[in-house]
């Protein structure tokens, strides 16, 4: 696809997203869309670090840190939302800098597990100490103050739609920053690190510095989403920021396909937010169906949904699916060449690594 | 004071040994098929539930209930490997997809358990409710039974892994699957065996724990704790699993008594974090940088 075409597609997509709350009047559906957007932004940032070779389980923790910091600042410190927003993001970034300086010294499982442990510690700290409201959490987090408009009126925050546009603004900022980063020297360094740490180091990339940079950026973005969520949902409990959420964020990213860093998370988060809601009809079976669906998508679409759709016609698609069903793929995969060790040398990220083409 | 300390030690030992059992199982699953098995806690819970079903509604003895729990969790573990994980092995990104598939499995099993058992906690009649006094220290025999059973099973596991052909093949596969394949080891079958053994160990741990703590859905969360215990001891290291489990059990029992459960867990996690930063593979583990490079 040409760049111009992509630009048009991106603009059209943005316009549709911006118009949605006007078309869908029901607050419930707007609420769902807010959740989808927030989850997809979280998954996008997760993918960013994943492409640098770090599987970050502490996303949910920083999401929670952002939420709690802002809630504390507005509730106990009496700050207005517009002051507490930059303050909370900065504080979270500083925490990420300190924690990251310790965590990113190792990669692989040596990073995954400590970041998972951090994801355990944070909600425990929130749940244990009185200052943070214990297991009940913090309630009545105030809504953002209204913004005065030149015409004498004011932009009030109360309805779902107003929050939707606030989040949309945040999401656009995050996406623009992400795409700019991917196209810059930093993004290329991350990609090199994702392919091979040794190789990246041999061309003079300071692994520690770039990992730390990525970790801080990603955590600050997660914290931004956390700040939004705290003021949107108005009460926050430590339980919602646990490792389970971290795994869900990872799930959005993987199911959507990590080959495309923006569209993939949106699709993944959309599917995994809508399906459980839609399945409420069959109430009791909902988690089972969701679980089965996750497993099926993983088995049949190994590159995620976007990786699967990428450059395939309908006929190729059905042929591929039948091939999988009849076990052709498996025979090939079980040869010695397809072995885990043989993969060590190759890039193991998604096959369609074409970031720049999406940037248009 | 001294007596309390001894009592806490026995509590910690029995709890720690159960964690040793679970983390040995988890270790097998992570070292041989390279799966970070998120749904592991579900198997622990299932083991306990089977014991409840066999003992309370069916009214059979505890000594029938434990083997039943082991067999059922083993079958479920084998099935979950064949149906869910087998198609995902030997692929690009298999490390990531294994984690997510585990989450899918966890949702399915957790919900199935919820629908069958409901949310309430249920008690299981204890095997021996007697308390004996040794040198003025009150020791509940129940915990002694737990300790004995766990030690026996651990010894058997050790024997299987060290002395039998299958155990050696499994260790070869965990070392390097391709080299093991050149020696004629069927890696796929070893993955299956490791999953069955691992899940059976979790089921056994649940079965042993059921009479002491009762049975409820919250037990599944222990899977996450087991993960941390394994990391502390070192991935793929059986002595590491023993060390990590015992340290965790002691922390739980002493920490709960002296500083409260929340604070002691935070302390424990912080200590693990500190250890892992200096020894990324855990205390007794090897270097694991290359395992999770995504």
The pTM score is 0.79
Question: B-chain residues within 8 Å CB-CB of A248?
Answer: 103
Percent of chain B at pLDDT > 90 equals 17
Which has more pLDDT, A293 or B286?
A293
What is the rounded CA–CA span in Å between residue A258 and residue A156? 37
pLDDT in tens, B160-181: 888 888 888 888 888 777 788 8
CB–CB of A110 and B266 under 8 A?
Answer: no
- What was the pLDDT predicted at A197? 84
Question: B-chain residues within 8 Å CB-CB of A108?
Answer: 288-293
Residue B291 pLDDT level (bands cut at 50, 70, 90): low
Query: Which residues, 6 or more positions from B32, have their beta carbon under 8 angstroms from its beta carbon?
Result: B170, B173, B174, B190, B191, B194
In a domain, B284, yes or no: no
In a domain, B19, yes or no: yes
Chain A nearest-CA residue for B99: A247
From the CA of B149, how many Å to the nearest CA of chain A?
Answer: 31
User: How crowded is residue A95: how many other Cβ atoms within 10 Å of its Cβ?
Assistant: 20
- pLDDT of A358 higher than 50: no
- What was the pLDDT predicted at A338? 40
In a domain, B267, yes or no: no
Question: B-chain residues within 8 Å CB-CB of A117?
Answer: 228, 231, 269, 272-273, 276
- Integer CA distances (angstroms), A329 to A84, A270, A345, in order: 53, 29, 22
In a domain, B62, yes or no: yes
User: How crowded is residue A67: how many other Cβ atoms within 10 Å of its Cβ?
Assistant: 30
CB–CB of B90 and A340 under 8 A?
Answer: yes
- What was the pLDDT predicted at B182? 86
Query: Which residues, 6 or more positions from B10, have their beta carbon under 8 angstroms from its beta carbon?
Result: B139, B143, B144, B147
Nearest to A110 among B188, B263, B289 (CB): B289
- Contact yes or no for A93/A224 (Cβ under 8 A): no
Residue A359 pLDDT level (bands cut at 50, 70, 90): very low
Q: Which of A189-203, A318-332, B164-178 has the lowest mean pLDDT?
A: A318-332
Residue of A111, A113, A337 to mutate, interface with B, max B Cβ within 10 Å: A113
CB–CB of A298 and B88 under 8 A?
Answer: yes
CB–CB of B111 and A288 under 8 A?
Answer: yes
pLDDT in tens, A120-131: 888 888 888 888
pLDDT in tens, A130-151: 888 877 888 888 888 777 777 6
Question: B-chain residues within 8 Å CB-CB of A121?
Answer: 266, 269-270, 273
B235 in contact with A, Cβ within 8 Å: yes
From the CA of B128, how many Å to the nearest CA of chain A?
Answer: 36
Chain B, residues 37-56, CB within 8 A of chain A, namely 38
Helix ranges, chain B (H): 2-31, 40-55, 62-80, 94-117, 141-163, 165-175, 177-182, 187-213, 222-233, 238-258, 261-278
Question: A-chain residues within 8 Å CB-CB of B108?
Answer: 287-288, 291-292, 295
Tokens of A141: 């987090």
- pLDDT of B200 higher than 90: yes
- What was the pLDDT predicted at A154? 73
Residue B199 pLDDT level (bands cut at 50, 70, 90): very high
**ipTM, two decimals:** 0.78
User: How crowded is residue B28: how many other Cβ atoms within 10 Å of its Cβ?
Assistant: 27
User: Angle formed by the axes of helices B187-213 and B165-175, to 10°?
Assistant: 110
CB–CB of B111 and A342 under 8 A?
Answer: no
CB–CB of B100 and A113 under 8 A?
Answer: no
In a domain, B191, yes or no: yes
From the CA of B171, how many Å to the nearest CA of chain A?
Answer: 16
pLDDT in tens, B49-66: 998 888 888 778 888 889
Total domain count, chain B:
1
Nearest to B266 among A125, A243, A292 (CB): A125
Residue A158 pLDDT level (bands cut at 50, 70, 90): confident
Question: A-chain residues within 8 Å CB-CB of B34?
Answer: 340
Question: B-chain residues within 8 Å CB-CB of A243?
Answer: 224
For tokens 């699993």, the residue is B241
B172 in contact with A, Cβ within 8 Å: no
What is the rounded CA–CA span in Å between residue A337 and residue A332? 9
CATH number for the A3-146+157-359 domain, one of 1.25.40, 1.10.150, 3.10.450, 1.10.3470? 1.10.3470
- pLDDT of A272 higher than 70: yes
B93: left (phi over 0), alpha (psi -120 to 50) or beta: left
Question: B-chain residues within 8 Å CB-CB of A105?
Answer: 277
From the CA of A351, how many Å to the nearest CA of chain B?
Answer: 10
Residue range of the domain that includes B21: 15-217
- What was the pLDDT predicted at A312? 59
Question: A-chain residues within 8 Å CB-CB of B113?
Answer: none
Question: A-chain residues within 8 Å CB-CB of B97?
Answer: 254, 298, 302
CB–CB of B269 and A117 under 8 A?
Answer: yes
Q: Where are the domains of chain A?
A: 3-146+157-359
From the CA of B227, how many Å to the nearest CA of chain A?
Answer: 9
pLDDT in tens, B55-110: 888 778 888 889 999 999 999 999 999 988 888 877 766 777 888 888 888 888 88
* DSSP β-ladder status, B131-134 and B137-140: antiparallel
Contacts 24+ apart (CB under 8 A), A13-21: A14/A172, A17/A168, A18/A165, A18/A168, A20/A164, A21/A160, A21/A161, A21/A164, A21/A165
Query: What does A167-194 look like in DSSP terms, one character per residue?
Result: HHHHHHHHHHHHHHHHHSHHHHHHHHHH
- pLDDT of B287 higher than 70: no
């Amino acid at each position: 696809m040409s760049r111009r075409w992509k630009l048009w597609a991106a603009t059209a997509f943005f316009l549709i997203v911006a118009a949605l709350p006007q078309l869908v009047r029901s607050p419930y559906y707007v609420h769902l869309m807010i959740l989808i957007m927030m989850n997809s932004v979280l998954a996008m940032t997760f993918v960013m670090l994943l492409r640098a070779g770090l599987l970050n389980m502490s996303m949910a923790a920083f999401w929670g840190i952002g939420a709690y910091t802002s809630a504390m600042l507005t509730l106990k410190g009496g700050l207005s939302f517009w002051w507490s927003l930059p303050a909370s993001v900065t504080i979270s970034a500083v925490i990420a800098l300190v924690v990251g300086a310790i965590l990113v010294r190792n990669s692989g499982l040596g990073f995954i597990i400590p970041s998972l442990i951090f994801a355990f510690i944070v909600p425990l700290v929130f749940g244990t100490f009185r200052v943070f409201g214990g297991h009940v959490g913090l309630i009545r987090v105030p809504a953002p103050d209204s913004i005065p408009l030149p015409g004498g009126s004011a932009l009030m925050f109360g309805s779902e739609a107003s929050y939707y546009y606030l989040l949309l603004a945040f999401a656009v900022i995050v996406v623009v920053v992400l795409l700019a980063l991917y196209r810059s020297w930093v993004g290329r360094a991350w990609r090199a690190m994702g392919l091979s740490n040794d190789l990246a180091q041999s061309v003079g990339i300071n692994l520690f510095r770039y990992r730390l940079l990525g970790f801080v950026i990603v955590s600050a973005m997660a914290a931004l989403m956390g700040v939004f969520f705290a003021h949107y949902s108005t009460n926050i409990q430590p339980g919602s920021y646990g490792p389970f959420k971290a795994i869900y964020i990872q799930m959005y990213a993987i199911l959507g396909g990590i080959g495309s860093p923006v569209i993939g998370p949106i699709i993944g988060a959309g599917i995994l937010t809508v399906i459980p809601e839609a399945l409420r009809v069959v109430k009791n079976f909902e988690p089972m169906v969701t679980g089965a669906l996750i497993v099926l998508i993983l088995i049949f679409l190994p590159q995620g949904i976007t990786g699967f759709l990428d450059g395939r016609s309908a006929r190729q698609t059905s042929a591929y699916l039948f091939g999988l069903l009849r076990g052709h793929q498996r025979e090939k995969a079980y040869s010695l060449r397809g072995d885990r060790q043989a993969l060590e040398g190759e890039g193991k990220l998604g096959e369609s690594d074409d970031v720049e083409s999406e940037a248009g | 004071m001294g007596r309390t300390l001894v009592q806490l030690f026995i509590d910690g030992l029995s709890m720690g040994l159960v964690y040793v059992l679970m983390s040995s199982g988890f270790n097998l699953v992570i070292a041989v098929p390279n799966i970070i098995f998120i749904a592991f806690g579900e198997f622990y819970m299932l083991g306990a539930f089977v014991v409840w079903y066999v003992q309370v509604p069916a009214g059979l003895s505890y000594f029938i209930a434990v083997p039943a729990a082991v067999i059922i969790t083993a079958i479920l573990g084998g099935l979950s490997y064949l149906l869910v994980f087998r198609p995902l092995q030997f692929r690009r990104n298999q490390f990531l997809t294994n984690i997510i598939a585990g989450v899918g499995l966890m949702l399915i099993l957790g919900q199935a358990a919820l629908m069958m058992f409901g949310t309430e906690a249920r008690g299981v009649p204890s095997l021996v409710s007697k308390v004996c006094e040794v040198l003025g220290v009150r020791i509940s025999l129940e915990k002694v039974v737990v300790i004995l059973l766990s030690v026996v099973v651990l010894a058997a596991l050790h024997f299987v892994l060290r002395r039998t052909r299958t155990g050696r093949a499994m260790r070869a596969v965990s070392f390097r699957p391709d080299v093991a394949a050149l020696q004629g080891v069927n890696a796929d079958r070893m993955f299956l065996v490791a999953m069955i053994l691992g899940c059976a160990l979790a089921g056994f741990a649940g079965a042993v724990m059921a009479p002491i703590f009762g049975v409820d859905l919250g037990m599944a969360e222990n899977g996450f704790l087991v993960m941390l215990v394994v990391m502390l001891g070192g991935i793929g290291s059986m002595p590491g699993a023993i060390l990590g489990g015992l340290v965790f059990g002691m922390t739980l029992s002493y920490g709960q008594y002296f500083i409260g459960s929340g604070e002691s867990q935070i302390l424990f996690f912080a200590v693990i974090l500190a250890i892992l930063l200096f020894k990324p593979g855990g205390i007794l583990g090897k270097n694991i940088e290359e395992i999770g490079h995504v």
